[in-house]
């Protein structure tokens, strides 16, 4: 009878056990030893233990809030279709990319086998009309950039170069024939694109100082020069090359096809950010390109700038994604990591960091959300996009550095993800117009004076 009572009490006790939590506890304590001790308790001791655990279980009913960087519930503003796409991309990133992100970043290699899976999401060229593209609002493109960067900024950059800069150049500056040839297969990611504008000697000043030249000789063009930092260029099927026409001094765009014998693309090694992205130094030596592969509607740098205006907004969303990924990882960590016998999330100074991160995230979200609305209404200007790019890339730097800080030493270990976000935020800060250049664009718009030198 005594034994029966004891079994009944232990069964009752078991009901209060959260087995997921037990799994975690068993990593820290010697459970078999404790179970053995429980078996040796007398009736009164067992009742006392039960009372204690039941009270703890009741307190445990105060569940910790979910980890979610969308504090003002911007997701509620999405249509059901947009929300479904967002969740589809999120699920892909969390299940397919999260487990491999650090590995490929560390090896500085690109996971080529994810391309068909990414293609299956049907998110390439999401805002373009026709050519197999979904023709959705720019807001959707922003949400996708955020979701990709929230897990891996490298994948988001690879995608932005292909779907935004390369497809966008063809969509905005290509002839109908060129669009028909390239966009449907790029939409399905059967052909991958790259975008070559920056040069070894000319970055910020590329609008007026491009050194790569093109010259019309008969039915073809001859290009000479170098392009630096060109993402995806080591394996891309088509690279958009911008060059200065020596005849009229204007920028022209070209479709450089993989296999052209007159160029080489060398991988840039030893990057401390976006290591998964394959950036190349391209050398063009008397590189011959037929007139039919010149972007027919790119006649000056103003046309190049149209592409950059469209994609710069996406970079601001990407910065938000990077910051959100770091914040969510850090918040999770602070709830688990214990010091002085408590989760560090209970410390006031830690909470202060978390709240400042969240405030930055929330301000960024409001800004990019409105930016996409302007874009969807056809009201987006260069200065709108530049202001968002400046603000978001600065705030992201602040968020990732606080995320790293609350993680102590583990903040610099790749396996905790935040270190990767810290490094990748540096690339976001510099590409698609540095802080200075985007500030000058906004400064010119608000003062009426150009401070460009």
Ligand X SMILES: Cc1cc2nc3c(=O)[nH]c(=O)nc-3n(C[C@H](O)[C@H](O)[C@H](O)COP(=O)(O)OP(=O)(O)OC[C@H]3O[C@@H](n4cnc5c(N)ncnc54)[C@H](O)[C@@H]3O)c2cc1C
Residues in contact with ligand X, counted by CB under 6 A, come to a total of 22
Stretch that binds ligand X, among 168-176, 224-232, 333-341, 413-421 (CB under 6 A): 224-232
Per rule CB under 6 A, is residue 204 in the interface with ligand X? Answer: yes
Interface with ligand X (CB under 6 A), residue from 135, 336, 412, 452 = 452
Among 222, 437, 441, 442, binds ligand X (CB under 6 A): 437
Of residues 108, 124, 223, 230, which one binds ligand X by CB under 6 A? 230
- Which CB, 297 or 444, lies closer to ligand X? 444
Q: Show the 3-state SS of the chain.
A: CHHHHHHHHHHHHHHCCCHHHHHHHHHHCCHHHHHHHHHCCCHHHHHHHHHHHHHHHHHHCCCCCCCCCCCCCHHHHCCHHHHHHHHHHHHHHHHHHHHHHHHHHHHCCCCHHHHHHHHCCCCCCCCCEECCEECCCHHHHHHHHHHHHHHCHHHHHHHHHHHHHHHHHHHHHCCHHHHHHHHHHHHCCCCCEEEECCCCCCCCCHHHHCCCEEEEECCEEEEEEEEEEEECCCCCCEEEEEEEECCCCCEEEEEEECCCCCEEEEECCCCCCCCCCCEEEEEEEEEEEEHHHECCCCCCHHHHHHHHHHHHHHHHHHHHHHHHHHHHHHHHHHHHCEECCEEHHHCHHHHHHHHHHHHHHHHHHHHHHHHHHHHHCCCCCHHHHHHHHHHHHHHHHHHHHHHHHHCHHHHHCHHHCHHHHHHHHHHHHHCCCCHHHHHHHHHHHHHCCCCCC
Binding of ligand X by 350 (CB under 6 A): no
Phi, psi of 214 (to 5 degrees): -135, 145
Q: Does 387 bind ligand X (CB under 6 A)?
A: no
Work out whether 197 is an interface residue with ligand X (CB under 6 A): yes
318-326, 341-349, 352-360, 432-440 -> range binding ligand X (CB under 6 A): 432-440
Per CB under 6 A, the segment of 90-98, 121-129, 190-198, 409-417 that binds ligand X is 190-198
CB of residue 153 to ligand X, shortest distance in Å: 10
- List CB contacts of 184: < 8 A, sequence separation 6 or more: 131, 132
Q: Please say which residue, 41 or 394, places its beta carbon nearer to ligand X.
A: 394
Of the candidates 426, 413, 411, the residue with the CA atom closest to the CA atom of residue 350: 411
Instruction: Measure the N-to-C terminal CA separation of the chain; round to a whole number of Å.
Output: 93
Among 152, 181, 293, 432, binds ligand X (CB under 6 A): 432
Residue 209 lies near ligand X (rule: CB under 6 A) = no
Closer of 69 and 160 to ligand X (Cβ):
160
265 in contact with ligand X (CB under 6 A): no
Q: Is 241 in the site for ligand X (CB under 6 A)?
A: no
Q: Per CB under 6 A, does 274 bind ligand X? A: yes
C-alpha 421/C-alpha 325 separation (Å) is 8
- Which is closer to ligand X, CB of 228 or CB of 346? 228
Cβ 242 to ligand X, closest distance in Å? 8
Closest CB to ligand X: residue number: 203
The residue (of 84 and 266) whose beta carbon lies closer to ligand X is: 266
- Under the binding rule (CB under 6 A), the answer on residue 155 touching ligand X is no
Contacting range for ligand X; rule: CB under 6 A; set: 136-144, 180-188, 189-197, 217-225: 189-197
Residue whose pair of structure tokens reads 């910065």 in the numeric block: 319
Q: How far is CA 163 from the centre of its chain?
A: 13
Per CB under 6 A, 229 contacts ligand X: yes
What φ, ψ does residue 264 adopt, rounded to 5°? -135, 145
* Binding range to ligand X, per CB under 6 A, among 15-23, 28-36, 193-201, 313-321: 193-201
CB of 423 to ligand X, least distance (A): 10
* Residue 226 touching ligand X (CB under 6 A): no
Residue 278 binds ligand X (CB under 6 A) = no
Minimum separation from the CB atom of position 354 to ligand X (A): 29
What is the token pair recorded at 176? 């109908």
Distance of closest approach, residue 408 Cβ to ligand X, in angstroms: 28
CB nearer to ligand X: pick between 126 and 282 = 282
Nearer to ligand X by Cβ, of 157 and 334: the residue is 157
Query: Residue 198 interacts with ligand X (CB under 6 A)?
Result: yes
Rule CB under 6 A: say whether 163 interacts with ligand X: no
Q: Hey, how many other C-beta atoms are within 10 angstroms of the C-beta on 260?
A: 15
Is 20 a residue that touches ligand X (CB under 6 A)?
Answer: no
What does the binding site for ligand X look like in residue numbers (CB under 6 A)? 161, 195-198, 203-204, 229-231, 274, 279, 427, 430-434, 436-437, 452-453
């Amino acid at each position: 009878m005594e034994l029966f009572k004891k079994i009944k009490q232990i069964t009752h006790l078991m009901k209060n056990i959260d087995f997921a939590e037990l799994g975690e506890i068993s990593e820290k304590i010697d459970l078999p030893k404790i179970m053995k001790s429980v078996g040796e308790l007398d009736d009164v001791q067992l009742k006392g233990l039960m009372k204690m655990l039941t009270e703890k279980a009741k307190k445990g009913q105060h569940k910790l809030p979910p980890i979610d960087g969308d504090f003002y519930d911007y997701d509620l503003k999405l249509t059901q279709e947009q929300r479904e796409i967002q969740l589809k991309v999120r699920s892909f990133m969390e299940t397919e990319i999260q487990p491999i992100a650090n590995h490929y970043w560390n090896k500085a290699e690109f996971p080529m086998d994810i391309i068909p899976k990414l293609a299956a999401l049907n998110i390439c060229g999401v805002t373009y009309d026709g050519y197999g593209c979904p023709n959705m609002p720019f807001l959707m493109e922003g949400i996708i950039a955020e979701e990709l960067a929230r897990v891996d900024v490298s994948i988001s950059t690879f995608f932005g170069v292909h779907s935004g800069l390369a497809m966008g150049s063809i969509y905005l500056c290509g002839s109908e024939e060129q669009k028909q040839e390239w966009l449907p297969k790029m939409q399905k990611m059967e052909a991958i694109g790259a975008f070559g504008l920056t040069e070894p000697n000319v970055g910020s000043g590329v609008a007026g100082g491009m050194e790569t030249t093109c010259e019309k000789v008969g039915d073809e063009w001859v290009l000479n020069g170098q392009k630096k930092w060109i993402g995806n260029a080591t394996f891309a099927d088509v690279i958009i090359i911008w060059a200065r026409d020596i005849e009229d001094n204007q920028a022209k765009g070209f479709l450089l096809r993989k296999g052209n014998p007159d160029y080489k693309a060398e991988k840039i090694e030893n990057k401390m950010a976006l290591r998964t992205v394959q950036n190349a130094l391209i050398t063009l030596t008397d590189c011959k390109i037929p007139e039919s592969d010149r972007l027919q509607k790119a006649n000056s740098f103003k046309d190049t700038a149209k592409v950059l205006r469209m994609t710069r907004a996406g970079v601001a969303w990407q910065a938000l994604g990077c910051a959100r990924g770091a914040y969510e990882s850090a918040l999770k960590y602070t709830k688990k990591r214990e010091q002085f016998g408590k989760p560090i999330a209970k410390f006031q100074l830690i909470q202060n960091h978390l709240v400042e991160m969240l405030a930055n995230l929330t301000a960024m979200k409001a800004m990019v959300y409105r930016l996409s609305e302007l874009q969807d209404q056809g009201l987006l200007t260069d200065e709108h996009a530049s202001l968002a790019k400046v603000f978001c890339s600065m705030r992201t730097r602040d968020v990732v550095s606080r995320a790293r800080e609350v993680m102590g030493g583990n903040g610099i270990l790749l396996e905790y993800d935040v270190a990767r976000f810290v490094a990748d935020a540096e690339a976001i800060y510099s590409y698609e117009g540095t802080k200075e250049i985007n500030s000058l664009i906004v400064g010119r718009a608000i003062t009426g004076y150009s401070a460009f030198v």
